[in-house]
Structure 1
Amino acid sequence: MARKITAALDAAEAATADGGAVPEAAAGQDRPELRKAIEEIVGSGFTGITLRVHDERGEWAASAGVAELGGTAKPPIDGHARIGSNTKTFTAALVLRLVAEGRIELDAPVADHLPEFGLDEQITVRMLLQHTSGLFNFTGEVQDDGTLAPGIPMPYGPLGKEWLDDRFHAYRPEALVRLALSRPARFEPGTDWSYSNTNYVLVRLLIEKVTGRSFAEEMRRLILEPLGLSGTVVPDASPEIPAPHAHAYYRHEEDGRTRTVDITRHNPSWVSTGGDMISTTRDLHTFISALMGGELLPAPLLAEMCTPETKVGYGLGVFVQKTAGGGTVITHNGGMAGYATLMYSTPDGSRTLTAALNCVDDADLSIATAFQSAQQRLVDEVFGGGQAGPAQP
């Protein structure tokens, strides 16, 4: 399997490895608390981090650490990253745009549009977006007794090495759904909450069925082009990531030795719309600020999106969380095979925090504790404290 980045991408990345023409931090701003935070986050075990904050003081962006193991260049300020489950917020916004167009109804049975899967007739579009369908998660489920029911090979868990060895394999979204449906449901639709990538792969297939166009085409038509998100990509089964970007790595044991592999290039179809998109901290800011600011959705639909269920506070593609000071943040974070991204906003879009982190990942998800601490640290600095929330692949 080819592991080397193409010469063209290498040349482009080398030319912009210091962040290109984008200045690090806005002129005249001194945010030593943020600078200290990102330096300490790198010290906790991350290879690198890029942070972007928009608030009443303006825009501040900077990076720390390195873009590549063995190198000295920092992660590029406007670099691309695999955004993991932030993909779900983009996807939910796309569905709600189609609801506004009259193409989809939130409380309609999904089986009406996708009869070929034999779905429970009780499962609605809303349940998919809110993770209340009860469908098995094809990337694996942690059972009530704490044991793991594995799904397809993925970077985390007992099948991590299998994923690594076959990381350029292409999966069809229909196959992922059928695997999930071959396992027992977690609960009766609408009676509980359980995070499942299966929900969002079904949403992708639903979008394609009702529009007659690919998910990528509809994402460009209704989200990316209207907002000018030129750094955001729906990769489908392509292993490429646009330059500039920081690198992602995977550590594993082989023949009694610890080996570290560059996994920047891999086929993201293993997670599909559960977490395959690529973006930048700038585009994530533009997207969440515009979404919360009412630029994408009519007010009633935005209100529905930000109305959380009662178990964990999940709306439609977003977590709704309280800060220590009694405020509210709208968020989704993502973890994706050596990359992690943060996306937080006030409900009106006036203050945002977006970040991209790169690391050496492994099957045990050893970076998880450091990632949780990093989220909490940055939320505390920018929003005055609150629950940072989970990151999901």
Structure 2
Amino acid sequence: MNNNIKAPFRRLRRVAVTALAVTLLATPGVATADSRPELQGAAQGFVDVGFAGMQLRVHDQRGEWVGSAGVRKLGETAKPPTNGLFRIGSNTKTFVATVVLQLVAENKIGLDASVSEYLPRFGMDPRITVRMLLQHTSGVFNYTGDYYNGTTMPGLPSTGQEWVDNRFRTYQPDELVRFALAKPALFAPGTDWNYSNTNYTIAGLLIEKVTGRSYAEELRRRILWPLGLSGTVVPGARPEIPGPHAHGYYHYQDAGRPKTVDVTRQNPSLLFAAGDLISTTQDLRKFFSALVGGELLPDSLLAEMRTPHPKANYGLGLFVEDAGCGVKVLRHNGSTIGYGALMYSTLDGSRTLTASITAGNVEADLAEGYPKALDKLLRAVFCGGQATN
């Protein structure tokens, strides 16, 4: 569930998807599809490279535009609901980082304090700080599998038939952390950068330790309820998506034979606090706009969050990048098997893009086609259609 601007869906590299005809639907109270042909064309591009469906929400100086593309379910003609819920994958990390930084603001957590002071039960390297968790510089192994310095290292079942067979298994967060810590550290704390789901599972446990409440309850108290994010769910181990939604599929090879499985229902406990949330394009826009607009954090900590690591352009729970044409954006994309999510904003919050992408039953061109489709969408939203290269 690594997230770089050209290919934020590394997991979806193994997920197959279907190319289907696209019609963009208008939502009452927002612009019609015909009024934004550049967005219609951009959404068409994602379907053309093989995604089954897409929900897209853009907010800019022209107002709000909402549309959907492709189909809600294979074999049917209905489009994805524009108010649909979906698995947001690693966008969860931005929510978790925000809660941790709120606790820093309340002097309940030290940003540069040793994590072992709060969670001594894991026997972690005392040099690992809270900041290192949020910025992925801890060196801790990624329990869903890792790739570092040219070496692939398997983790818990997260792809192929093994994941399919285990997709309803319930994992405990301590189990995930202990599995990761049993592996050698990839590098000394603070000396390099490597994206790891383990960092945020530990951050979720840190929230629980210092507040005495569950990660889910604290997220609801601090973000979901105050912002009215009624479509955002912390599912725990529940496999259902509780509301209108598009189906996600997994197309993979098993013993040399292609298979396609509807993976809409899956137990998200494997990604506790790292990629388990369910949300909507509207809720993601509300959350990101509130965060960027300074409603959730004091200015000093928002500035820390937006200060990127030089190797990866990753701050504390989000990326800081150039969308092209000199426009800087904040973002955090994410994926689980079957689903992908996009969340972008300009630094001043004047333009936002939130989207869901669902996988289908053929292999998508994620090496070349997906980056081109993403580039076209970013040009349309942030660069007035200009080329970004």
User: What is the TM-score normalised by the length of structure 2?
Assistant: 0.89
Q: Matches of 1:58 and 1:225 in 2, distance apart?
A: 25
**Alignment correspondent of 1:98:** 103
Alpha-carbon contact 2:93-2:273 (below 8 Å) kept: yes
**Alignment correspondent of 1:14:** none
Q: Matches of 2:196 and 2:186 in 1, distance apart?
A: 10
Q: Matches of 1:148 and 1:136 in 2, distance apart?
A: 12
Alpha-carbon contact 2:54-2:80 (below 8 Å) kept: yes
Deviation at 1:148, TM superposition (A): 1.4
**Alignment correspondent of 1:209:** 209
2:149 matched to 1:149?
no
**Alignment correspondent of 1:35:** 40
Q: Percent identity?
A: 58
Alpha-carbon contact 1:137-1:197 (below 8 Å) kept: yes
- Select which of 24, 27, 45 maps to 2:50: 45
Number of aligned residues: 365
Residue type matched to 2:371 in 1?
Q
- Which shifted more, 73-82 or 353-362? 353-362
Deviation at 1:257, TM superposition (A): 4.4
Listed one character per residue, the Cα deviations across residues 95-151 of structure 1 (whole Å, up to 9, x for unaligned) are 11111222111011000000010111111100000000010111111131x331100
**Alignment correspondent of 2:90:** 85
Deviation at 1:387, TM superposition (A): 8.1
Alpha-carbon contact 1:24-1:62 (below 8 Å) kept: no
Alpha-carbon contact 2:26-2:67 (below 8 Å) kept: no
- Which shifted more, 28-37 or 258-267? 28-37
- Where in structure 2 are the equivalents of 1:2-21 lying within 5 Å? none
* Root-mean-square deviation (Å): 2.3
Deviation at 1:243, TM superposition (A): 1.7
**Alignment correspondent of 1:6:** none
SS at the partner of 2:357? Answer: strand
Listed one character per residue, the Cα deviations across residues 338-383 of structure 1 (whole Å, up to 9, x for unaligned) are 1000000011212100110001379x98646443333222111111
Deviation at 1:224, TM superposition (A): 0.5
Q: 1:271 to 1:386 in 2, by over 3 A?
A: farther
Q: Matches of 1:252 and 1:328 in 2, distance apart?
A: 36
Q: 1:254 to 1:195 in 2, by over 3 A?
A: closer
Alpha-carbon contact 1:323-1:386 (below 8 Å) kept: no
**Alignment correspondent of 1:136:** 141
- Where in structure 2 are the equivalents of 1:151-300 lying within 5 Å? 151-155=155-159, 160-254=160-254, 257-300=257-300
- Where in structure 2 are the equivalents of 1:306-325 lying within 5 Å? 306-325=306-325
Q: 1:258 to 1:54 in 2, by over 3 A?
A: same
Q: Which has the higher contact order (CA 8 A, sep 6+)?
A: 2
SS at the partner of 2:35? Answer: coil
Q: Matches of 2:47 and 2:28 in 1, distance apart?
A: 21
| Structure 2: tracts of 5 or more residues without a match | 1-22
Alpha-carbon contact 2:26-2:32 (below 8 Å) kept: no
Q: Matches of 1:20 and 1:324 in 2, distance apart?
A: 28
2:119 matched to 1:114?
yes
Q: Matches of 1:162 and 1:248 in 2, distance apart?
A: 18
Deviation at 1:253, TM superposition (A): 3.9
Q: Matches of 2:278 and 2:351 in 1, distance apart?
A: 22
